[in-house]
Structure 1
């Protein structure tokens, strides 16, 4: 199963990303019970790419690349449904996103994960991402961990 480009307006992709947000709210005891639905416009701009892995018509994993500026893009929405974890889907999606970033000419990729997600931290560090100071929206969030991968 290889990652394939998927439109962010695909209802299955929207469902997958809404599930990701619900899981993160539970994991971090986010008291705001209004799970914001995924807005496809956030991944519809120039330089954005959503990849998914599908099996038997069901999307099992996703990840996205979102252009920040001419030199950098952000890895977003990395998620694998719990029943499909441990099968290397996240690693395949991340590798494909890194390659897409290289082909797009980005100098670096950045991402944010949380301190309650050791599997994600391990995945990113194994792929060569290194900790950086928290950036942008995550700057003052104590449980956020930000990473960067230099592509050139």
Structure 2
């Protein structure tokens, strides 16, 4: 059953956004437990933003809300060396298959488009086939692993070509 979803822009530190990022970590950490050492290594390097998101690079943090106003999904758009990159895309299990991810992706893509950039990029891992299916369904194209993920040979990277649309 599809629902009506709304999108809200919030500060990176919004408690709802923090809770959703924690839920994402709790779901994904077990999938990559054998690679945790690499995540920790990258997170310890300030010059490498693979393992962390510097607040000054955040373009927007978005939540997707259900009809009752409960945050059901989260995504960040950040500036990675002059290109918009989608990070920490997550939808709670009970909202999956109901259109929340598509609404959230569309909003993030629209924000990226408003930057005037020719493309938006993202990185996921080889143990997230549901994420890869979403990106392919939305017209994203696989690309080679880009910096800062080159040490993570299990990365799956994608791009979406953008046509500029000024903010409404």
Structure 2 match to 1:108: 119
Bigger relative contact order, structure 1 or 2 (CA pairs below 8 A, ≥6 apart): 2
Larger radius of gyration: 2
For residues 25 and 57 of structure 2, what CA distance do their matches in structure 1 show? 24
Give unmatched runs, 5+ long, in structure 2: 44-51, 164-168
Q: Could you tell me which residue of structure 1 aligns to residue 159 of structure 2?
A: 148
Distance across 2 between alignment mates of 1:92 and 1:78: 12
Match of 2:73 in 1: 61
Q: Give the superposed CA RMSD.
A: 2.5
5+ residue gaps in structure 1? none
- Displacement of 1:81: 0.9
In the TM superposition, residue 52 of structure 1 has moved relative to its aligned partner by 0.5
* 127 and 31 in structure 1: CA distance in 2 versus 1, 3 angstrom threshold: closer
Q: Secondary structure at the match of 2:56?
A: coil
What is the TM-score when the length of structure 1 is the normalising length?
0.84
Q: 1:14 to 1:144 in 2, by over 3 A?
A: same
Aligned to 2:22: 18
TM-score, normalised relative to structure 2: 0.77
Secondary structure at 1:63 match in 2: strand
Aligned partners of 1:24, 1:49: CA distance in 2, in Å? 23
